[in-house]
Amino acid sequence: AWTGEIRGRVVCDVCGDSSIGPEDHVLYGAEVAVLCITKSGEVFNYQAFTNSRGIYTVAETMPETDRWVSCLARPIKSFHERCTRRGDSHSGIKFTYNLTSGHSHTVKPFLYKPATAPIYC
């Protein structure tokens, strides 16, 4: 059997500067969708929510002949009361999954920003 894992973080970009700094914080409970296509052409659609450290994880064990070959991860929703606007210019991140069994692919963080930036920004 083959096992794959995808993980990433969701962060509140408090100042809306598209970079993660000390003023930013992780978002708990943010929803992320991951769509993967296997070698055999089957499509798997996963839904994940971030934990208290802002990390989401998707994992699957399947036959080597049906393993993932490419995936698309995209943010769906932030449930944080002040940080709900998507801060990324792209709607998702597409990537080739060519890792051997038991290895994890890390997706760059998805950013959300508040409707208004604090004065200290």
User: What pLDDT score does 91 carry?
Assistant: 79
Map tokens 């096992």 to a residue. 3
pLDDT in tens, 93-104: 999 999 999 999
Domain ranges of the chain: 2-113
**Can you tell me the distance from the alpha carbon of 24 to that of 117, in angstroms, rounded to the nearest whole number?**
11
For 64, phi then psi, to 5°, come to -55, -35
Is the CATH code 3.40.50.720 the one for domain 2-113?
Answer: no
User: What pLDDT score does 89 carry?
Assistant: 65
pLDDT in tens, 24-54: 999 999 999 999 999 999 999 999 999 999 9
Nearest Cα to Cα of residue 78 among 120, 111, 30: 30
